[in-house]
Structure 1
């Protein structure tokens, strides 16, 4: 690929990214509580209320997206050639680049925006560690071969001052470009520049890619055998809008629900004088009813006027509808009800496990979705450190280890492990189920052996157990 071809590819991918960006911004706006503000049934209603409750939003997208993301704790990788322990070299690199903190943000964006990206940066020297950054889906895009699924191009864009910048990655080359952020300026530069969406090279020639493959890795959420991953909050956004519409009615109703509503009958409309430039009265005009309602003013100028009243409306209906919507959100997103409603009283451990069964399955499915991408990230990190082909194959065929996705209390764990031990399960298997981390497993087993060595009676008991 020469520089002109790379320039054309940057223009194509940046256009596709521009088309994708509004959807991503909308989803993340709902996640932050910025897009799902109070809704109003009419423009008149909005004009009166929108400034009174400005900033209020009943945000349900956040707990739905956060629930699975907070349980995705990546621990490390066990290579195919050494499945009993973590790869220490990769673990050191992961800790060096603050992988735990960075990935936790990526899982949340992945759930809400339906995709996230990881970029591996080669080390400057063989003695240094490579770097790993997780990129925002508004600024990254990967194009893959539709037949083989292999990544052909990766593009990263960003804004610095008044200019846009982009870096295109291919398996062989890295090409860098820039353009003015003001579209009108580069459209006036020349027809050729406008044809390439203003992108101009920053270097005379593309640079070689030291990794030999696209270092930008896309992590997609669940899809339907197509290239359009589904966001965890797509179905929640409309329900959140509905709830905020109900909140607008409810807040407006609360404003006057403390007293019965009054109505004046048999009276003329109140009027106000109309003054000329000199301040002289030249006529009268009716006071707008909207102003009377807003200011809660009662003006009765006519003899025989009568005031009637009716009782305030029942606001319980609003709460009932909101509760049903929350139930729908919990059912449709497999979010445990106690994550959304704080009404758990004396719930048993078994009841909580049943309530969280859907979320546990959902998190397991999300882990399956990101596992291929995370394997590629681990392989690229090893490749950036000069790993040979045999090690790269062992990493690719290895196993990712994640933290337990099901919460259990200490008493539950102790009870389960005690029953497994009574059933004759080996101690190492029980420890692996309990602590997960292979490094901790070895340490715990060493402590157990040290205790046995210090207690002769325990050695006799263990020998009798092994003999039987």
Structure 2
């Protein structure tokens, strides 16, 4: 028997809440909210929680280094031409900005989601959602065929949900007081979409496909998408513990310590109300330390000194841990240590080879999801032919390798020498978008037309008029 929409909602919502617990952990580590681990219970008792909230946060660096090199620049159709309509829709929905947030979320938690929908029947919307607010389910045995999608959000005093199936779309709502409790079908009720053009609790899906697309980071065939900071977290905990011990040591044993041997502690008499001596007590040592006073009354007293602790033992281990982070995440050491002295351009490129390969790998994974998003965008506009061409096309990404302008100019000049067309060369310039290439093409055509028409002055302006020689009449 086919599953009811209410049962599908309950199952997907439960899966969403289970995932949320793990994604919350990765998000907290990225934000620097890291518990202090790998320390003894005695250490926590002695320090009194002074290191709560402390973190030498490397979990933020790793995703940031990758996402800054993931920038879609255009969409190429099956025949190799650039899709201007797709790029206009991309810019209209501010996806050129939102995609960086979505990809960063995917790098941190393993996945994020893009929703393509036409709420008013006129203009298509592309929105992005994090893994705590959206979930996609696939047909068993078919990793790329979406069977259902769920998006949840909070509005006023209600938690709301939209369930997307290949043929239908449903809207649900429940009281926000129960939002934190395990989902149960009886918690939810059908509601209308709230749109002026659709006041039913369900509608036919015009795309005939689940419009919620997962942007997954390096998923395995038999596993789940991977967070970029998953392997960094244990090393991050180790570094935090090492820094805590180092800072504690710097406070206690970073300076030489002196001790008085062979002498009793200084004391003072305790007097009662009549001035009679009733006892004695030790004087606080802290007073003598602050006043820098010292006197020795016993002839047998002597001074002993304890050398300061060598804290470089801690920093040496921390540097090893940082190198492990660099190796495991393929992050150039220059990003983590900040040491760049007398490094040639070739050496710098070689040091970034691992990161560039990782980014190019991410372009393939995320590119598949982005192509599907733009295919759905074309379907929403009723252009099935362009949708098919986009599905077989590609995403044009910014060059994953950072180079200087001189390096790009040299490379493009060499490509030009072997006959590569200007348009292809312009596409390889970082940051150049399709509309700017179109403007350059028009400018080139105008120049050619001026030359053919003999309007050289239109290109270079009128010839300068020489001033008359004052010595001649």
TM-score normalised by the chain length of structure 2: 0.80
Equivalent residue, structure 1, for 2:387: 392
Tell me the alpha carbon deviations over residues 261-320 of structure 1, each in whole angstroms, 9 at most, x when there is no partner.
3456678899999xxxxxxxx999999x9x99xx99999999877763311111111111
Out of 201, 212, 218, the position equivalent to 2:190 is: 201
Q: What's the CA shift for 1:350?
A: 0.7
Shift of the 297–115 alpha-carbon distance from structure 1 to 2, 3 Å rule, reads farther
- Gaps of at least 5 residues in structure 1 are 188-193, 274-281, 457-468
Q: Mapping of 1:292-311 within 5 angstroms? A: 308-311=304-307
Out of 154, 161, 168, the position equivalent to 1:166 is: 161
Shift of the 210–452 alpha-carbon distance from structure 1 to 2, 3 Å rule, reads closer
Aligned mates of 2:181, 2:253 — CA distance in 1: 59
Out of 81, 86, 90, the position equivalent to 1:84 is: 81
Aligned mates of 1:400, 1:249 — CA distance in 2: 48
Equivalent residue, structure 2, for 1:119: 115
Q: Mapping of 1:245-394 within 5 angstroms? A: 245-262=241-258, 308-387=304-383, 389-394=384-389
Aligned mates of 2:67, 2:14 — CA distance in 1: 30
Equivalent residue, structure 2, for 1:144: 138
Q: Which has the higher helix share?
A: 1
Out of 236, 239, 243, the position equivalent to 1:240 is: 236
Shift of the 109–301 alpha-carbon distance from structure 1 to 2, 3 Å rule, reads farther
Aligned mates of 2:24, 2:129 — CA distance in 1: 15
Aligned mates of 1:297, 1:167 — CA distance in 2: 72
Equivalent residue, structure 2, for 1:178: 173
Aligned mates of 2:282, 2:160 — CA distance in 1: 60
**Contact 1:77–1:398 under 8 Å retained in 2:** yes
Aligned mates of 1:409, 1:264 — CA distance in 2: 64
Aligned mates of 1:113, 1:21 — CA distance in 2: 10
- Gaps of at least 5 residues in structure 2 are 193-199, 270-277, 453-473
Equivalent residue, structure 2, for 1:15: 14
The answer to whether residue 61 in structure 2 is matched with residue 66 in structure 1 is no
Out of 129, 134, 155, the position equivalent to 1:135 is: 129
Tell me the alpha carbon deviations over residues 77-97 of structure 1, each in whole angstroms, 9 at most, x when there is no partner.
12224x233x22221111111
Equivalent residue, structure 2, for 1:466: none
Q: Mapping of 1:96-107 within 5 angstroms? A: 96-107=92-103
Shift of the 297–216 alpha-carbon distance from structure 1 to 2, 3 Å rule, reads farther
Aligned mates of 1:298, 1:145 — CA distance in 2: 81
- Secondary structure at the aligned position of 1:228 is classed as coil
**Contact 1:113–1:137 under 8 Å retained in 2:** yes
Out of 415, 422, 432, the position equivalent to 1:420 is: 415
Equivalent residue, structure 2, for 1:31: 30
Query: Larger deviation: 335-344 or 117-126?
Result: 117-126
**Contact 1:123–1:384 under 8 Å retained in 2:** no
Aligned mates of 1:11, 1:261 — CA distance in 2: 65
**Contact 1:172–1:208 under 8 Å retained in 2:** yes
TM-score normalised by the chain length of structure 1: 0.81
- Secondary structure at the aligned position of 2:159 is classed as strand
Shift of the 200–22 alpha-carbon distance from structure 1 to 2, 3 Å rule, reads same
Question: Please, what is the CA RMSD of the aligned residues?
Answer: 3.7
**Contact 1:420–1:430 under 8 Å retained in 2:** yes
Equivalent residue, structure 1, for 2:197: none
**Contact 1:38–1:247 under 8 Å retained in 2:** no
**Contact 1:268–1:302 under 8 Å retained in 2:** no
Equivalent residue, structure 2, for 1:465: none
Q: What's the CA shift for 1:200?
A: 2.7
The answer to whether residue 417 in structure 2 is matched with residue 401 in structure 1 is no
Shift of the 29–428 alpha-carbon distance from structure 1 to 2, 3 Å rule, reads same
Aligned mates of 2:396, 2:440 — CA distance in 1: 18
Aligned mates of 1:364, 1:272 — CA distance in 2: 76
Shift of the 326–195 alpha-carbon distance from structure 1 to 2, 3 Å rule, reads closer
The answer to whether residue 1 in structure 2 is matched with residue 5 in structure 1 is no
Equivalent residue, structure 2, for 1:56: 54
Tell me the alpha carbon deviations over residues 379-399 of structure 1, each in whole angstroms, 9 at most, x when there is no partner.
111222222x32221121122
**Contact 2:334–2:340 under 8 Å retained in 1:** yes
Shift of the 334–267 alpha-carbon distance from structure 1 to 2, 3 Å rule, reads same
Q: What's the CA shift for 1:421?
A: 3.4
Aligned mates of 1:298, 1:38 — CA distance in 2: 39
Aligned mates of 2:72, 2:21 — CA distance in 1: 30
